[in-house]
Structure 1
Amino acid sequence: MKITYIESPEGLLHEGTKWEELKQQIISEKPEVLVTNEMPFGSWLAVENEFNTADAEASISAHNYSVDALKKLNIPIVLSSRPVPVDNKLANEAFALVNGEYRFAHQKHYFPEESGFYETAWFRTGRTGFDVIKTDKLNVGFLLCTELMFNEWARSYRSQDAHLIVIPRASEQGFERWKTAVAMAAIVSGCYVVSANRVGKCGNKLIFGGKGFAFSPDGSLISETPSDNPVVSFHLDFGFVDNQQKQYPCYVHEIGLKYQ
């Protein structure tokens, strides 16, 4: 199965030159699955430390249009996230478009609170849980950005028979610890794990570093996005997943533990 992941520019809209160029690169790959970065359309909200209703509504609108734009790519499975209203704030909602049908996946649970990433000011969790999305062939789990740092959920997805874990993220230029965390998520789950990031400057306060990457079920690096190519693909081997999930440490069972 061919998986394509991207790094999209800060402030991307569903129309215009940037989207048209990115769209043509995506289409030329002929993917079966597309993975985007975290809330890929519009401006990054959490650069500001106070919630702003007008900005929140603008982001919701941008992503509503973007869902339609993603459907028009005619890719069998698209994996992304978008803001939705929850309790006078927002939830960061992961979703799948499966043959054009919108399917809820997960809402982000873990929120940083620091310069450029004041997410607790903007986001809440309206629906709890870390559940796999199951399609005809592919089972997928989401970890939205910071959630990657909590390996128990990657392992939980393995117990739900996931083949692929996707980590849409929005992170700065340093990426080594992200690569380490993605590798560990692959090792403990026996899944393919892929992370996509946004790239570019957000006002005068923040620079997103791009650099998406994919790891195989044994924790080895498959590929990453170079600075001159925001669209990269790899092939998922279901047999490799099945075999790796029988190996150490995937087969090790917890005794008396429950994920909260």
Structure 2
Amino acid sequence: MPVCAYVEMMDGLRPHGTAWDQFAQALVHRRPDIMVMNEMPFGQWLARKEDFAMEDARQSVEIHEAGTAALAALNIPAVITSRPALLADRLVNEAIFIENGQVRPLHTKTYLPQEPGWSEVSWFSRGDGRFNIQHICGLGVGVLLCTELMFNEHARQYGRRGADLIAVPRATGSSHESWITAGKMASIVSGSYVVSSNRVRQSGDGPRFGGGGFAITPGGGLAGRTETSSAIMFIDIDAQVSARQRQEYPCYVDELHDDASLDVP
């Protein structure tokens, strides 16, 4: 069965140098089939600033282009992450997976916070609300980018469409328990494994990121969580387990159709 890695990666990560070399070397000892990286993992976190700046946007696009090439060079069959992409005079945050060196877009982030340290509305245009299943390493895979995890209807629909794994690249602070709770609920309503990675610590004038990548088994069990001393963790993804869980409560419960809706006087 496929092995999935999840991580906590340093804020301000660069796709070269000592930290990157140590990360690549650590993966040599147990090379996963799938790796979930954190959200827009390279360079400075753009949304630390309240106002959009084109120069910063272009620099982030450039370092993620180099970072995507560095991830492809790890020779992991599939890597799931996100990258900034310029669209007219704004960016979009695009979920991608890298398969055999080829970059494949998934969807653009739809739910965007706007608060100190996470001024994403200032920097990004919203996605179109399409959440597509991909087949990766023999698994049905869906992606929820960070805040998208908080909207359970999408996890539910991924499960209805056969997702064995929901990958959650994120860039969040120290509120671990709320994110783990959201991950458990996503797993409960979908029947899927939920695997998430995060930035950790602080670089420059950005917010402090909390790390705490996690893996949740179908039905909502916490299987593991990254720490400073174990920044890369692994979980086996068993498609038969997720398929069985999708037949259990509450996954099997039918959706409310328009013709069954209640009339409100």
Scaled by the length of structure 2, the TM-score of the pair is 0.94
Helix, strand or coil for the counterpart of 1:8? strand
**Cα pair distance change 1:15/1:139, threshold 3 Å:** same
Query: 2: CA distance between counterparts of 1:205 and 1:239?
Result: 42
Helix, strand or coil for the counterpart of 2:110? coil
Alignment of 1:129-140 (within 5 A): 129-135=130-136, 137-140=138-141
Per-residue deviation at 1:136?
5.3
Counterpart residue identity of residue 184, structure 1: M
Query: 1: CA distance between counterparts of 2:232 and 2:172?
Result: 18
> For residue 184 of structure 1, what is the aligned residue in structure 2?
185
Q: Which moved more, 1:20-29 or 1:88-97?
A: 20-29
Query: 2: CA distance between counterparts of 1:194 and 1:60?
Result: 25
Per-residue deviation at 1:255?
2.0
Query: 1: CA distance between counterparts of 2:177 and 2:163?
Result: 25
> For residue 50 of structure 2, what is the aligned residue in structure 1?
49
Counterpart residue identity of residue 150, structure 1: F
Query: 1: CA distance between counterparts of 2:206 and 2:64?
Result: 23
How many matched pairs?
257
Per-residue deviation at 1:253?
1.3
Helix, strand or coil for the counterpart of 1:222? strand
Query: 2: CA distance between counterparts of 1:103 and 1:123?
Result: 20
Deviations 1:21-70 (A, max 9, x none): 11111232210001100000111000000001111000000000111111
Q: Is the 8 A contact 1:90 1:124 kept in 2?
A: yes
> For residue 123 of structure 1, what is the aligned residue in structure 2?
124
* 1:3 has 2:8 as partner: no
> For residue 224 of structure 1, what is the aligned residue in structure 2?
225
Q: Is the 8 A contact 1:31 1:75 kept in 2?
A: yes
- Mind listing any 5+ residue stretches in structure 2 that lack a counterpart? 259-265
Helix, strand or coil for the counterpart of 1:81? strand
Query: 2: CA distance between counterparts of 1:77 and 1:144?
Result: 17
Identical aligned residues as a percent: 43
Alignment of 1:157-236 (within 5 A): 157-236=158-237
Q: Is the 8 A contact 1:173 1:208 kept in 2?
A: yes
Scaled by the length of structure 1, the TM-score of the pair is 0.96
Per-residue deviation at 1:127?
4.6
Per-residue deviation at 1:218?
1.2
Counterpart residue identity of residue 22, structure 1: F
Query: 1: CA distance between counterparts of 2:251 and 2:218?
Result: 10
Per-residue deviation at 1:226?
1.6
Per-residue deviation at 1:80?
0.7
> For residue 249 of structure 1, what is the aligned residue in structure 2?
250
> For residue 108 of structure 2, what is the aligned residue in structure 1?
107
**Cα pair distance change 1:153/1:121, threshold 3 Å:** same
Query: 1: CA distance between counterparts of 2:74 and 2:44?
Result: 22
Helix, strand or coil for the counterpart of 2:188? helix
Query: 2: CA distance between counterparts of 1:64 and 1:244?
Result: 38
Q: Is the 8 A contact 1:4 1:29 kept in 2?
A: no
**Cα pair distance change 1:14/1:156, threshold 3 Å:** same
